[in-house]
Amino acid sequence: MSIFDAINVAESAMAVHRYRSEVASENIANVNTPGYHRKEVDLRATSFTSALNGARAGTGNDQSSSGGMFTGGSIDASRGAVRVAGTRTVGGTDYDERQQALMATTDMLRAKSAFELNVKSATLLKSMALSSLEIGRGS
């Protein structure tokens, strides 16, 4: 897996967590809307660890048919390590508006934290790539 593949994985994860933030903000905005039901984003983890181990070993196991991201002995970075499996409406709850707002705010904070961690990892990977280029130039 190249450093650029790792950056693509971080980028994919940022897009997923940005979407989670959008859904959480919609929940916050509609907390007082009559008949509105809170939505949750269902995430599906791809088999990142096994794909990474397989890529290192060069085994060539293909998990693409089962929703994995490992194809032909390398990691398909465009698939990322996590993806949105869907969005579902949470109905039939007896929560009042304050509880709904608290749950939506908690969802927003969790998505924000995950997004920030992926930004930090992408920044670190970028720094590593630049350092590698400087070493290659002999500086």
Mean local confidence (pLDDT), 29-51 = 79
Task: Judge whether 139 lies within some domain.
Answer: no
Mean local confidence (pLDDT), 66-94 = 60
pLDDT > 90 in the chain, percent = 18
**Residue 17's CB: how many other CB atoms inside 10 A?**
24
Mean pLDDT (the chain, rounded): 76
Mean local confidence (pLDDT), 21-39 = 89
Its sign, for the CA torsion 80, 85, 91, 94, is negative
Domain that holds residue 52: 3-131
Band the pLDDT of 101: cuts 50, 70, 90: confident
The answer to whether residue 3 scores a pLDDT higher than 50 is: yes
Mean local confidence (pLDDT), 25-53 = 80
> CA 114, CA 95: separation in Å to the nearest integer?
26
Q: Which helix (H) or strand (E) holds 21?
A: helix 3-29
Band the pLDDT of 110: cuts 50, 70, 90: very high
The answer to whether residue 69 scores a pLDDT higher than 50 is: no
Domain count, the chain: 1
Task: Judge whether 136 lies within some domain.
Answer: no
- pTM for the full predicted model: 0.66
> CA 132, CA 72: separation in Å to the nearest integer?
27
Q: Which helix (H) or strand (E) holds 82?
A: strand 82-89
> CA 68, CA 66: separation in Å to the nearest integer?
6
Q: In the prediction, which pLDDT does 38 show? A: 87
Mean local confidence (pLDDT), 44-48 = 68
**Residue 43's CB: how many other CB atoms inside 10 A?**
15
**Residue 125's CB: how many other CB atoms inside 10 A?**
18
